[in-house]
Amino acid sequence: MGWGMPLIGSLFWIFIIVGVVLLVRWLTDPSDTDSKNHGRESALEILNKRYARGEIDRETYERIKQDLEL
């Protein structure tokens, strides 16, 4: 067997330790503050943009905004 068994054993433990560290970092990632949206815009942001572009009038904007805030 020679050097093979100690090398394989060492690699095994290195992979286990790296895997645990990556798992902990993934579970506690503070940069993922918007995990529910995954980078998507909120409904209110879309509504604001539609109003700013003139796609909807003020009455429609106010009505939808009230519905979203409920």
In a domain, 48, yes or no: yes
Domain count, the chain: 1
List all residues 6 or more positions away from 67 whose beta carbon is below 8 Å from its beta carbon: none
CA 62, 68, 69, 70 dihedral sign is: positive
In a domain, 16, yes or no: no
Q: What is the C-alpha separation between 18 and 22, in angstroms, rounded?
A: 6
List all residues 6 or more positions away from 31 whose beta carbon is below 8 Å from its beta carbon: none
Residue 27's pLDDT is what? 87
Residue 40's pLDDT is what? 73
In a domain, 9, yes or no: no
In a domain, 5, yes or no: no
In a domain, 24, yes or no: no
Lowest mean pLDDT among 23-32, 45-54, 59-68: 23-32
Q: What is the pLDDT of residues 29-58, one digit of tens each?
A: 766 555 555 567 889 999 999 999 999 999
Residue 4's pLDDT is what? 80
What does the mean pLDDT of the chain come to? 85
Q: What is the C-alpha separation between 22 and 16, in angstroms, rounded?
A: 10
Domain that holds residue 47: 40-70
Residue 24's pLDDT is what? 92
